[in-house]
Amino acid sequence: MENHFADMTLTRLFGEHPHAREFFLAIGLSELPEELPLAAAVAALDEELLLDVGVERQDLLRQFCDYMAGMEQLRNQQQAMVASVTVLGGHDKSGNPENFRLELRPGEVTCIVGPTGSGKSRFLADIEWLAQGDSPTGRTVLINGAAPDLARRYAVEQKLVAQLSQNMNFVMDLSAEEFIRLHAESRMVADPAAITATILELANSLAGEQFTPVTPVTALSGGQSRALMIADVACLSSSPIVLIDEIENAGIDRKRALSLLADQDKIVLMATHDPILALMGQQRLIFKNGGVAAIRSTSPAERANLTLFEEMDARLTAVRHALRNGEEIAGGF
Amino acid sequence: MRLITVAGPPSSGKTAIICKTVEALQAVGTSVGVIKFDCLSSGDQVTYERRGIPARTGLSGNLCPDHFYVSNIEECLDWGLQSGFDLLISESAGLCNRCAPHIKDICAVCVIDNLSGVETPRKIGPMLKMADIVVITKGDIVSQAEREVFVHRIRQVNSSAIIIHVNGLTGQGGHELGRLLKDAATVETLQGKLLRFSMPAALCSYCLGQRRIGADFQMGNVKKMELG
């Protein structure tokens, strides 16, 4: 591996692997003799410069090869298909056994309900940690029905859970298009421009008000931000599980947002106490005292109520529209 | 005893994640002490002691903080050994981003926060580049996309570290970080051990107290910018 790159001129190396240049830029080595082979270029680096940027010459080649291998792995990563995640119950805070076996499958939405401190976050942490009876809850997590490879625990590139919450904001000062493209490039996707266009289009189809590719992400409204985050997670995140902490009611088509994630074969876990969102799930987990107290499938009667609640919601939305337009709130809504 | 060096830019959440991680370690019967290195003042010893974590503070004051650290770490290790800890954590801020307290064969942790922006990994030297474990904090308030880009940018400058997210407020990830620290190498003495990278050269007239500006007053290790 090392020799393979060492004898290539930088011109050829950067031509064939554009991300190779990124490695040297990131370290702070921007002016390299590109006509030289990599090994010779590294050997020719000024000692003073290496001291300034803080790298050891003898480590540089190895680090570069590690980086290239990591990127190659990312590119080829057909994120080993997760067909199911199984959680076997442990115990609650008082040590009472939970006694459940829960299977989560791609395309399904599972809601999580319970008061603050009831153990919802720990449940998610157990899944991320691939708990094998060795977390504070004693739960066990299986992937595709079997005990997972524990090396995965600390493999950040293969994180199981992507998260979306109301507290999350964009902090990067970039346009929507530049932002998604940056994400696409870091994921090593084959055609960053195409996936960026798809994501912007999907986000706009979820958001009540349209935004353009040149809108700065920090200038997006709450609904637009959430729409962009959801479309981005659905299409670009490698994590098979998506955790959502509520989706605000304003400015986003929540039903379509959920079905977009489900269509991309995500396992969706949603912490919510919104009646409509909670009933949109196939099942819900009820948390108490640090444990899962019950698992409830959404019943036909609840589905009938969901239709009713959606009608009520549509009426309230109409009132909201009327308010925004300065109308009198009278008569039939 | 195991020794861990934890470093990271100011306000990246070092103290918070140490508190949460030690909480998880204490819960499984591991005894931990902390040495806090700071410059002018630090209230963190109180923060630690309030949580039942024995701590000592070193203030570098007028001296270069990392040079101060390396001149004192041996005695700190002795304090830890005498106190009978299973694990001793040294916490220091990398104030110029070019310093690193990391020592060869001693578990090295760098704490860096998502809010500091995606360019930050490129701005931090050996403290990040030579760490064994990189802890990312404040991930709960930025988007998933930014978290993933941030991880990628860290990977560019440190291809081999374990990268882990820890929430300093809720403690999520602290248990997992604790597991890693428990596997750190044990150490009985630091005599003769090597820093992972040299500390920034600092021997010019300003190191010695010069305050006046101008070429006539600059002596020793002076470097000039190229302004083109």
Which residue of chain A has the CA closest to B25? A136
Q: Is B104 on the interface with A (CB under 8 A)?
A: no
pLDDT digits (tens, 9 = 90+) for A244-276: 988 877 778 888 999 999 999 999 999 999 999
Smallest CA-to-CA distance from A313 within A287, A283, A276, A278 is with A276
Please give the mean pLDDT across all residues of chain A.
Answer: 90
Please answer whether residues B145 and A229 qualify as being in contact, where contact means their C-beta atoms are separated by less than 8 angstroms.
yes
The pLDDT tens digits of the residues spanning A146-178 come to: 999 888 888 888 888 999 988 889 999 999 999
Q: Are B122 and B157 in contact (CB under 8 A)?
A: yes
Residue A127: how many other CB atoms lie within 10 Å: 20
Contact A23 B198 (CB under 8 A): no
Instruction: Answer whether B59 touches A (CB < 8 Å).
Output: no
Give the residue from A74, A154, A266 with the most B CB atoms within 10 Å of its CB, the best one to mutate: A154
Inter-chain touch B160–A55, beta carbons under 8 Å:
no
- The residues, ordered by sequence, that sit 6+ positions from B50 with a Cβ below 8 Å of its Cβ are none
pLDDT of residue A79 exceeding 70, the answer is no
- What confidence tens digit (pLDDT) does each residue in B107-155 have? 999 999 999 988 899 989 899 999 999 999 999 899 999 999 999 999 9
CA distances from A310 to A108, A300, A315, B135 (A): 20, 15, 9, 43
Q: Are strands B2-8 and B107-113 parallel, antiparallel or unpaired?
A: parallel
Report the alpha-carbon distance of residue A199 to residue B226 in Å, rounded. Answer: 43
Q: Which residues pair with B8 in a beta bridge?
A: B93
Residue in the block written with tokens 């080649």: A61
Query: How many other C-beta atoms can be found within 10 angstroms of the C-beta atom of residue A190?
Result: 8
Residue B86 CB burial class (10 angstroms; 0-12, 13-18, ≥19): middle
**Cβ neighbours of B160 in A, within 8 Å:** 63, 66
B202 interfaces chain A, CB cutoff of 8 Å: no
Contact B2, B187 (CB under 8 A): yes
Structure tokens at A291: 């444990």
Q: How far is A318 from chain B (nearest CA, A)?
A: 31
- Min CA distance, A157 vs chain B (Å)? 8
Give the pLDDT confidence score for residue A3 in this predicted structure.
64
Is B115 part of the contact surface with chain A (CB cutoff 8 Å)? yes
CA A221 – CA A201 distance, rounded (Å): 16
Tokens of B150: 């941030």
pLDDT in tens, A277-305: 999 999 999 999 999 999 999 999 999 99
A135 has a chain B CB within 8 A of its CB = yes
| DSSP three-state, residue A146 | strand
* Inter-chain residue contact B100 with A54, CB threshold 8 Å: yes
Sketch the domain layout of chain B as residue ranges: 2-217
**What confidence tier does B9 reach under pLDDT thresholds 50, 70, 90?**
very high
What is the fold of A104-117+155-298? Rossmann fold (3.40.50)
- Tell me the shortest Cα–Cα distance from A276 to chain B, in angstroms: 24
User: Looking at the partner chain, which of A23, A53, A229 has a beta carbon nearest the beta carbon of B143?
Assistant: A229
Q: Do A183 and B117 touch (CB under 8 A)?
A: no
Query: From A20, which residue of chain B is nearest by alpha-carbon distance?
Result: B156
CA distances from A214 to A100, A174, A243 (A): 49, 9, 28
The DSSP output letter for A276 is H
What is residue B202's predicted lDDT score, i.e. its pLDDT?
Answer: 66
pLDDT digit string (tens) for A82-130? Answer: 899 999 999 999 999 999 999 999 999 999 999 988 998 889 889 988 9
Are A276 and A313 within 8 A, CB to CB?
A: yes
First to last CA, chain B: 53
Is pLDDT at B77 greater than 90 in this prediction?
yes
Q: What is the DSSP letter of A100?
A: -
> What residues pair up with B58 in beta bridges, in sequence order?
B37
| Residues listed for chain A | 333
> Count of A–B CB contacts within 8 Å?
115
Q: Which of residues 162-201 of A touch B (CB under 8 A)?
A: 162-165, 167-172, 179-180, 182-183, 186-187
Contacts with A135 from chain B: Cβ below 8 Å: 175
pLDDT of residue B224: 79
Of A26, A187, A237, the CB nearest to B157: A26
| Residue among A28, A112, A43, A70 nearest A281 (CA) | A112
Confidence of residue B21 (pLDDT cuts 50, 70, 90): very high
Instruction: Give the mean pLDDT of B192-206.
Output: 81
Chain B residue at shortest CA distance from A21 = B156
Q: Are B45 and B53 contacting, i.e. CB atoms less than 8 angstroms apart?
A: no
CB B134 within 8 A of CB B161: yes
d(C-alpha B225, C-alpha B217), whole Å: 17
* Chain A residues 63-122 with CB within 8 Å of chain B: 63-64, 66-67, 70, 121
User: How far is B58 from chain A, CA to nearest CA, in Å?
Assistant: 26
Pick the CATH number of B2-217 from 3.40.190.10, 3.40.50.300, 3.20.20.70, 3.30.565.10: 3.40.50.300
**Which residues of chain A make contact with B114, given a CB cutoff of 8 A?**
171
Nearest-CA distance B148 → chain A (Å): 7
The beta-carbon neighbor of A70 closest among B142, B144, B159 is B159
Q: Are B190 and B5 in contact (CB under 8 A)?
A: no
All structural domains of chain A with their residue ranges = 2-76, 104-117+155-298, 300-333
- CA-nearest residue to B141 within chain A is A168
More confident residue, B205 or A312: A312
Out of A136, A168, A172, name the one closest to residue B175 (CB): A136
Q: What is the CA radius of gyration of chain A?
A: 24
Write out chain B in H/E/C secondary structure.
CEEEEEEECCCCCHHHHHHHHHHHHHHCCCCEEEEEEECCCCCHHHHHHHCCCCEEEEECCCCCHHHHHHHHHHHHHHHHHHHCCCEEEEEEECCCCCCCCCECCCEEEEEEEHHHCCCHHHHCCHHHHCCCEEEEECHHHECHHHHHHHHHHHHHHCCCCEEEECCCCCCCCHHHHHHHHHCCCECCCCCCCCECCCCCCCCECCCCCCCCCCHHHCCECCCCCCCC
